[in-house]
Amino acid sequence: MKKFYLSIFAASALIAANIDFEHANGNFERVNPEFGKDSVVLSYHSSINEAKKSVVNISTSRTIKSKGFSDGFPDIFNDPFFQEFFGKSFGFPDSRSEKQRKASSLGSGVIISSDGYIVTNNHVIEDADEIIVTMLDDTKEYEAKIIGNDPTTDLAIIKIEGKNLKPIKIADSDKLLEGDIVFAIGNPFGVGGTITQGIISALNKNNIGLNKYENFIQTDASINPGNSGGALVDSRGALIGINSAILSRSGGNNGVGFAIPSNMVKDVTSALIKDGKIERGYIGVLIADLTKEQKEIYKNQEGALVSSVEKDKPAEAAGLKIGDLIIQADDKEIKSANDFKNYIGSKKPGTTVKVRYERGGDIKTANVKLEALEAISITARDITESQISGLVVENLTSDIRKELNLDEDINGVLVSEVKRDSDAEDYGFIKNDLIIQVDQKEIKSVDEFQKALKSSKGKKLVWVMRDKIPLGIVVK
């Protein structure tokens, strides 16, 4: 049985701020091409050529640091005799020096406003130190800045300083049909502007495992590395999705590509442009699709089945119980668990959602007021900024132990975040390190860790467990 855990949260469907989307004509007809005329050449050049002016190349670079731990390890680990027995890849880093290297990558983006707002995938610009944008048909370079990003939908907004840019026209992705002709426009493999053709293979694809919020358009139009963040357009050249990923064993295109629907793109980018972030709500239920056997019990054959309700959370306060089958949220018909997750994911904390559900053969309604995820997360996980600048830590909980596959007899403090360009990063800490000891003091809680750091001046040896290997980090 497929399950989704709804710490349900997501992009607020806000009115666009500082941007007026160019909308494609919503009143259109689908036609079949005429064949058999020797004076007719079927071509989409004119419509695709306009859309191509709105697609850009994105080049990013970032600095990668590799930090060693020589002060934390005896010299024996670098001794040739030791390595003869255990191998040079035993797992202990060579810490004689800190190394830096530049990593670069290529992607694509789509202009959505004449003054330079560009939508792309979050993974295209994530952790970038520098973002350079060029048009597909021009070599002029623009330096871009990040306006906001949302890893859960893999969308991001960047901006360049430009005038009279060509924003793409955006179609209503709810009107798409399987079999519609589509074109993918982007910069695959860094070869420059490229257009590939296909059809819509499927709609509303989820459970792919790419993002937290998934409602993908599936297409067989070739989407290759570098196409990420580019445009998927219909035969008019109107944007129907942002190309995001492919499923491939070899890394090449196998005709199974995925794009984020334009309506989701509009909702997320509007919020990012207005606030620079996505505010997410929380309902507190575990939901699943109906199994074949469960459908025999319910009058409705589609919906989101509630299989767990968290105590003292919005769903419980609204009266929802295990076994309720949610069939509608406000005016949105709910046909699956993913439908409900994505709908709640479009609402801000504090929003009240009217839910219709089946219980015992009767149809009931409940008003659920969403809470803020951030406040719940911090309270539940007890995240603390440590005395080491940039090092964020938290106590181990049973949920964290399960997530990291840690035995109950393992104690320590989890590193939940290492901020960029901080002392913690320079020392060599990384996310999910488990701090187990400071000098000779074993660590079992955040309080013990903080006290151990205060207890003595000068250098301290902080022992962490990383991939089940103990590492000693010298902290000044």
Asked if residue 413 belongs to a domain, the reply is: yes
What is the pLDDT at residue 376? Answer: 38
Is 222 in the active site? no
Indicate whether 61 pLDDT > 50: yes
Instruction: Give 89's contacts (C-beta < 8 A, 6+ positions apart).
Output: none
Indicate whether 190 pLDDT > 60: yes
Q: What Å distances lie between residue 21 and 50, 112, 114, 167, 262, CA to CA?
A: 16, 7, 10, 8, 11
Asked if residue 312 belongs to a domain, the reply is: yes
The phi, psi pair for 206, rounded to 5°, reads -140, 180
Indicate if 411 and 355 belong to the same structural domain: no
Indicate if 249 and 350 belong to the same structural domain: no
Neighbours of 81 (CB within 10 A): 7
- The catalytic position among 59, 95, 113, 123 is 123
The string of pLDDT tens digits covering residues 120-170 is 999 888 888 889 998 887 788 899 999 988 888 889 999 998 888 999 999
Looking at 4-90, list the stretches that DSSP marks H as alpha helix, in order from N- to C-terminal side: 45-52, 80-86
Sign of CA dihedral 207, 209, 214, 216: negative
Indicate if 243 and 312 belong to the same structural domain: no
Residue 65 is part of a domain; what is its CATH number?
2.40.10.120
Indicate whether 302 pLDDT > 70: yes
Structure token pair of residue 439 = 């000098």
Residue range 180-187: mean pLDDT, rounded: 90
Reduce the DSSP state of residue 472 to 3 states and report it.
Answer: strand
Mean pLDDT estimate for the chain: 79
Q: What burial class does residue 74 get, using C-beta atoms within 10 Å of its C-beta: 0-12 exposed, 13-18 middle, 19+ buried?
A: exposed
- Kindly state the DSSP code that residue 467 receives in the 8-state scheme: T
Q: What burial class does residue 274 get, using C-beta atoms within 10 Å of its C-beta: 0-12 exposed, 13-18 middle, 19+ buried?
A: middle
Indicate if 124 and 266 belong to the same structural domain: yes
Indicate whether 78 pLDDT > 70: no
Asked if residue 38 belongs to a domain, the reply is: no
Instruction: Give 468's contacts (C-beta < 8 A, 6+ positions apart).
Output: none
Indicate if 331 and 430 belong to the same structural domain: no
| β-sheet bridge partners, residue 148 | 157
- The catalytic position among 150, 154, 220, 267 is 154
What is the pLDDT at residue 99? Answer: 54
End residue of a domain, out of 278, 311, 337: 278
Asked if residue 195 belongs to a domain, the reply is: yes
Asked if residue 30 belongs to a domain, the reply is: no
Asked if residue 39 belongs to a domain, the reply is: no
Structure token pair of residue 12 = 């607020």
CA 91 and chain centroid, separation: 30
DSSP letter for each residue of 322-354: TT-EEEEETTEEP-SHHHHHHHHTTS-TT-EEE
The string of pLDDT tens digits covering residues 196-223 is 889 999 887 766 556 666 678 898 888 8
Indicate if 400 and 346 belong to the same structural domain: no
Indicate whether 98 pLDDT > 60: no
Structure token pair of residue 336 = 């699956």
> What is the spatial distance between Cα 316 and Cα 309, in angstroms, rounded to a whole number?
6
End residue of a domain, out of 374, 405, 421: 374
Residue range 343-356: mean pLDDT, rounded: 86
- Unique residue bearing structure tokens 């297409």: 219
Q: What is the percentage of the chain residues whose pLDDT exceeds 70? A: 78
- The mean-pLDDT minimum among 90-104, 322-336, 436-450 falls in 90-104
> What is the spatial distance between Cα 232 and Cα 243, in angstroms, rounded to a whole number?
6
- The catalytic position among 54, 59, 108, 228 is 228
> What is the spatial distance between Cα 407 and Cα 398, in angstroms, rounded to a whole number?
10
Count how many domains the chain has: 3
Reduce the DSSP state of residue 41 to 3 states and report it.
Answer: coil
Indicate if 246 and 332 belong to the same structural domain: no
End residue of a domain, out of 314, 344, 374: 374
What is the pLDDT at residue 232? Answer: 93
Instruction: Give 58's contacts (C-beta < 8 A, 6+ positions apart).
Output: 106, 107, 108, 109, 118, 120, 124, 125, 131, 132, 133, 144, 158, 187, 229
Q: How many helices (H) and strands (E) does the chain have?
A: 10, 31
CB 311 within 8 A of CB 280: no
The phi, psi pair for 430, rounded to 5°, reads -135, 160
> What is the spatial distance between Cα 40 and Cα 291, in angstroms, rounded to a whole number?
52
Indicate if 273 and 309 belong to the same structural domain: no
Indicate if 74 and 160 belong to the same structural domain: yes
Residue 438 is part of a domain; what is its CATH number?
2.30.42.10
User: 248 vs 236, which has greater pLDDT?
Assistant: 236
Neighbours of 329 (CB within 10 A): 22
Indicate if 158 and 53 belong to the same structural domain: yes
Question: How many residues are present in the chain?
Answer: 476
What is the pLDDT at residue 335? Answer: 87
DSSP letter for each residue of 365-426: EEEEEPEEHHHHHHHHHT-EE-SSTTEEEEE--HHHHHHHT--TT---EEEEEE-TTSHHHH
Indicate if 306 and 168 belong to the same structural domain: no
Sign of CA dihedral 213, 219, 223, 227: negative
CB 274 within 8 A of CB 17: yes
The phi, psi pair for 210, rounded to 5°, reads -90, -45
What is the pLDDT at residue 72? Answer: 45
Q: Which residue range forms the structural domain that includes residue 286?
A: 281-374
What is the pLDDT at residue 209? Answer: 57
Asked if residue 35 belongs to a domain, the reply is: no
CB 187 within 8 A of CB 226: yes
Residue range 299-327: mean pLDDT, rounded: 90
Asked if residue 348 belongs to a domain, the reply is: yes
Indicate if 124 and 193 belong to the same structural domain: yes
Is 228 in the active site? yes
